[in-house]
Chains A and B, each alone.
Chain A
């Protein structure tokens, strides 16, 4: 395997910003298509920025339910004529991936405005259909075993993590309960009632040790933001999030017998060095949270504590909006819902809102630097894609 960082020093993202964060309120089930959801998010983002669709010259899409279309079909469907087009199949890692690719395109002048959109619909039977044909390795080597989907895969990772590091269900519960508290301040979150630790512990088992409140609820929804030059954002009067650094890694640590870490661990030093910042200066954290065990791994692998210290960390810190480490401030997927590939955007779009002071009811009081991480695609027995970005802005006035 290649070394951790590349040989050459990477160029920064100076002068490139993310603006116009848009979230289309999620629905448990929708009779609409992914095209419909993506169009709504794109429109909301463009309206915020005062940009006409014909002026979008870069377009990036992430979606699971567009079949038989891709970003290509969407250009004609939505009447776009971009000179730069991307389709990102990285699930939960797609938001940061879209951001960093779009940033380079704008930086190099290949596009002036890149609209990054992710959306999926959720029909009554679409989750089952997606699971049975998710990937070739899943089809061959995990789905035939109980067909428990990601619940069963994450149950195995959680079981191993608990045995290896002595984590308890209460430790995972702390993450879920805090996020529910955050979600109660987000009017668009799917979950609208408080969750107590007792309710978390007493929930019905889904795939031991995974219980009901460890699982996200699949929903329909969409998220979008725009990437452009700082001067263009300023001219349009748009509050902007600067991109300080990003990382991306796939199929890290293939020799680990089971996943206890993600690709972040390989690239974390570069992430902070490139941003010129440290863990202690991160004001808020948005992790990919389809199950709390992967949140705990991100807290470790992103440097907030050492490997295996996640349980102690969540015991010692308050992860709510007003806490000492605000985490998944919109409620995250666990409480706001998982809108397919938009689950890879929810944290990034919320982080853009936070550092630009536009988060409204979920606004963190000091929100200058946000760390966003993505994790995606249980191809067989583990998540293959990982990504992370540090973005910065003025925060709330």
Chain B
């Protein structure tokens, strides 16, 4: 079993905050396929399309038949730890600060041998499962974990470096008025977040979930309006140094595309919240989080954006809202690049139409707030970058990957049928 993590002591303000360092992030282009798989928590390897040979390390040509067609496939992550070591001296500062560090060789049931990180509950000679995760450099690495669950296994120090577990971390959920705020607060409380800050705009205006939100343990409601730079600055001054996970769930949504709107007023509001809101938060909270990426058990660890899956391909009935989300998606990639120096992950959670007043005339399936909240928590626990919630979002991204132009055509054909 793993020694459980304990709530970290109060930080000594006179001590220097440890500067984030990173494991080596250099990879070949072929190896980036592992990062793409890890972004969604998948265990994939290249399999030769001609002779079926599984490849590892990632290659540009098959080591059995020289074919250059090596698509990434989901494969069985089961194997056996055949050798192990404990690295006690390292040339890399990140590992040097974290030794002793377990490393091993796993032989997969499917064949290849993989050098990997090793969970503390695994002994050499045992059967293991390999998981593919992103490390603090943002690149993919493998961790060998027990085939079954062990006590507190997510608290293993090497595993916790690869995840963004909310346990004993402090969370800011940006918009108390969003329909998913209550579900998110409850989910973080259940995941043992130590403080759940919730930003509330226009506090004089009532909203349905207010009393229920206040009743969730660990919740602190604070004033925040993401469309007001001064408000964001003020909140960051208060809690910027102790925001470990930021959930940007504020959004402004109205139906309509271009010509069925007479002006750009709604479009401006959508951009003000969905794009500039993200930008303001990132400019103000981002530097503090990036600087605290290695600040002990409750280091800054993740930035979460709750987005529409129509960021990937425009849904004409919500065409302007889709565009604002496409802008936010693009900006999130920039934010990911900028936060990577601190080892802080950017996780985008995409859903299709949600169960709320602005999607009321749309047919099911629609995504419930609880489903989004569950995906946020599980995504953080797995350290993901891309999460697709619900059947509509999963269907859309599959179509997008198969052919974005074909999907665009489908979106045009479907326009006007439901809304």
Interface residues of A (CB under 8 A from B): 127-128, 131-133, 136-137, 139-149, 151-153, 155-157, 159-160, 163, 204-210, 254, 257-258, 380-381
Whole-angstrom distance from the CB of B220 to the nearest CB of chain A?
39
Query: How many residues does chain B have at the interface if contact means C-beta atoms less than 8 Å apart?
Result: 41
Closest Cβ of chain A: how far from B195's Cβ, in Å? Answer: 33
The one of A131, A139, A163, A380 that contacts B91, using a Cβ cutoff of 8 Å: A131
B115 touches A149 (CB 8 A): no
| Interface-centre pick from A136, A140, A145, A209 (highest chain B CB count, 10 A) | A145
Closest to A141 in B: B57
Determine whether the beta carbon of A132 is less than 8 Å from that of B88.
no
In the complex, the answer to whether B101 meets A146 with C-beta atoms within 8 Å is yes
The 8 A CB mask of B14-42 against A (1 = contact, 0 = none) is 00000000011011101100000000000
B92 located at the interface, meaning its Cβ lies under 8 Å from any Cβ of chain A in the complex: yes
Contact B89 A144, beta carbon cutoff 8 Å: no
CA distance A140 to B142 in the complex (A): 12
User: What are 24 A-B contacts defined by CB distance under 8 Å?
Assistant: A128-B91, A132-B26, A133-B26, A136-B28, A136-B57, A139-B28, A140-B28, A141-B56, A141-B58, A145-B141, A146-B92, A147-B23, A147-B87, A147-B94, A148-B95, A148-B101, A152-B85, A157-B83, A160-B82, A207-B86, A207-B89, A254-B63, A258-B83, A381-B105
**In contact, B82 and A147 (Cβ under 8 angstroms):** no
Residues of B within 8 A of A128 (CB): 91-92
B33 to chain A, nearest CB (A): 11
**CB distance A206 to B95 under 8 Å?**
no
Interface: B253 (CB within 8 A):
no
Do B103 and A145 touch across chains, with their CB atoms under 8 A apart?
A: yes
The reply to whether B82 and A257 contact each other, CB–CB distance below 8 Å, is: yes
**What residues on A are CB-neighbors of B23 within 8 Å?**
144, 147
B352 within 8 A of partner (CB): no
Given known contacts A208-B86, A258-B113, A139 and B124 CB-to-CB distance under 8 angstroms: no
Instruction: Give B202-235 as 1s and 0s: 1 = Cβ < 8 Å from A's Cβ atoms.
Output: 0000000000000000000000000000000000
Known: A147-B94, A148-B90, A257-B105. 17 other contacts (CB 8 A): A128-B91, A136-B57, A139-B26, A146-B95, A146-B103, A146-B117, A155-B85, A157-B83, A163-B83, A204-B88, A206-B89, A208-B86, A208-B88, A210-B85, A258-B113, A381-B105, A381-B113
A143 to chain B: closest CB distance in Å? 5
Say yes or no: B85 contacts A156, CB within 8 Å: yes
B139 at the interface (CB under 8 A from A): yes
- Determine if B115 and A156 form an interchain contact, defined as CB atoms under 8 angstroms apart: yes
* Closest Cβ–Cβ distance, residue A222 to chain B (whole Å): 24
Q: Give the nearest-CB partner of B139 in chain A.
A: A144
Report the separation of the CA atoms of residues A257 and B81 in the bound assembly, to the nearest whole angstrom. Answer: 11
Of all chain B residues, the one with the shortest Cβ separation from A153 is B115
State whether the Cβ of B77 lies closer than 8 Å to any Cβ in chain A: no
The distance in angstroms between the C-alpha atoms of A257 and B31, with both chains bound, is 21
**B residues 264-300 with Cβ under 8 Å of A?**
none
Complex CA gap A151/B84 in Å reads 12
Cβ-defined contact, A147 with B92, below 8 A = yes
Q: Is the CB of B91 within 8 A of A141?
A: no
When chains A and B are docked, how far (Å) is the Cα of A159 from the Cα of B114? 16
Q: Is the CB of A381 within 8 A of B115?
A: yes
Complex alpha-carbon distance, A137 and B24, angstroms? 13
Complex CA gap A272/B56 in Å reads: 36
Known: A144-B139, A146-B101, A156-B103. A139 touches B85 (CB 8 A): no
**Closest-CB distance, B95 to chain A (whole angstroms):** 5
Residues of A contacting B117 in the complex (Cβ-Cβ under 8 angstroms): 145-146
> A209 CA to B363 CA in the complex, in Å?
62
Specify which of A142, A159, A205, A207 is in contact with B115 (CB 8 Å cutoff).
A142
B146 within 8 A of A: no
B378 within 8 A of A: no
Q: What chain A residues lie within 8 Å of B137 (beta carbons)?
A: 144
B107 at the interface (CB under 8 A from A): yes
Is there a chain A Cβ closer than 8 Å to B166's Cβ?
Answer: no
